[in-house]
């Protein structure tokens, strides 16, 4: 026993200790990155409100122009599209934070840290779910008093679809930020060029039933279209299996594509 104690004391005096814990691994790294990214959100929750200025303006300006419907409120059709738009725009903006980290040099310090590069991307992408949920809750609080029927079960399933979608869009946004390294203007140019066609081709603001055939064919290639259709069905309290399944598939395609492209971009980052 004394030999062991003497050995431990010698190790302590020499400043050498055997590792107490092993490498926490990918899941722990991802959690740490996600918590790090969420701290500014919880420290300044008003930033979530600033990100909602445009969706709330759309609600305020478009809602009075919505046509009368025979059964229920037109908000049942319009609000799910606005929620999907908020998820798309919020997640697509987040790469701008990474561009600032690249410029300041903090991104380089993270790259040489013990954190795995894959966890840096996945943790940041998972973080997008929390602001999306907060923003959706605010929108529902605003519209529920105005003839909007809240179906909580459908909303919760819809949030699962949008969570997958937000993760994928966030990963693509980070990949774009890495590709436009030290060229912040390039990030904003590409982001703004892509976001609004995606919204219009998804039928977020206007239905596409009366659109020309070529426009409907192009919209069929837009995963956001199927996400929006699923959200509208779920927010109305309906659970059509095919529509919800297509929504999950569309969101999963975006999530898979975003994570694959984002991980490759992160591995090549220097």
In order, the DSSP letters of 125-156 are HHHTHHHHHHHHHHHHHHHTTTTPPP-HHHHH
- pLDDT tens, the chain, 270 aa long: 444 444 444 444 444 444 434 446 888 888 888 888 888 878 877 777 777 777 888 888 887 777 766 566 788 888 999 999 999 988 888 888 888 888 777 777 877 777 788 888 888 888 889 888 988 998 999 888 887 888 999 999 999 999 999 999 999 999 998 888 777 788 889 988 999 899 989 988 888 887 888 988 999 999 999 999 999 999 988 899 999 999 999 999 999 999 999 999 888 876
Torsion, CA 226, CA 228, CA 233, CA 235, rounded to 10: 150
- CB within 8 A of 163, min separation 6: which ones? 129, 132, 133
Q: Is the separation of the CB atoms in 247 and 83 below 8 Å? A: no
Q: Is the separation of the CB atoms in 247 and 162 below 8 Å? A: no
Domain boundaries, given as residue ranges, for the chain: 23-268
Q: What is the pTM of this model?
A: 0.82
């Amino acid at each position: 026993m004394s030999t062991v104690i003497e050995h431990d004391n010698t190790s302590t005096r020499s400043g050498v200790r055997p590792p107490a814990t092993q490498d926490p691994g990918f899941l722990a790294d991802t959690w740490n990155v996600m918590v790090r990214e969420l701290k500014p959100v919880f420290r300044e929750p008003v930033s979530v409100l600033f990100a909602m200025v445009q969706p709330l303006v759309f609600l305020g300006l478009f809602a009075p122009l919505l046509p009368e419907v025979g059964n229920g409120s037109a908000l049942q059709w319009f609000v799910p599209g606005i929620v999907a738009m908020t998820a798309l725009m919020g997640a697509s903006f987040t790469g701008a934070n990474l561009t600032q980290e690249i410029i300041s040099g903090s991104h380089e310090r993270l790259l040489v840290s013990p954190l795995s590069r894959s966890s840096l991307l996945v943790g940041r992408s998972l973080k997008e779910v929390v602001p999306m949920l907060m923003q959706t809750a605010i929108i529902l609080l605003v519209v529920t008093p105005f003839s909007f029927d809240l179906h909580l079960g459908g909303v919760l399933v819809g949030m699962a679809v949008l969570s997958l979608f937000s993760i994928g869009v966030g990963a693509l946004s980070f990949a774009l930020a890495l590709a436009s390294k030290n060229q912040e203007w390039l990030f904003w140019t590409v982001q703004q060029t892509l976001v609004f066609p995606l919204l219009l081709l998804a039928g977020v603001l206007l239905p596409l039933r009366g659109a020309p055939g070529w426009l409907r064919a192009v919209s069929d290639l837009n995963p956001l279209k199927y996400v929006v259709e699923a959200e509208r069905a779920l927010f109305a309290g309906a659970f059509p299996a095919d529509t919800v399944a297509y929504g999950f598939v569309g969101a999963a395609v975006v999530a898979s594509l975003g994570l694959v492209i984002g991980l490759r971009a992160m591995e090549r980052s220097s």
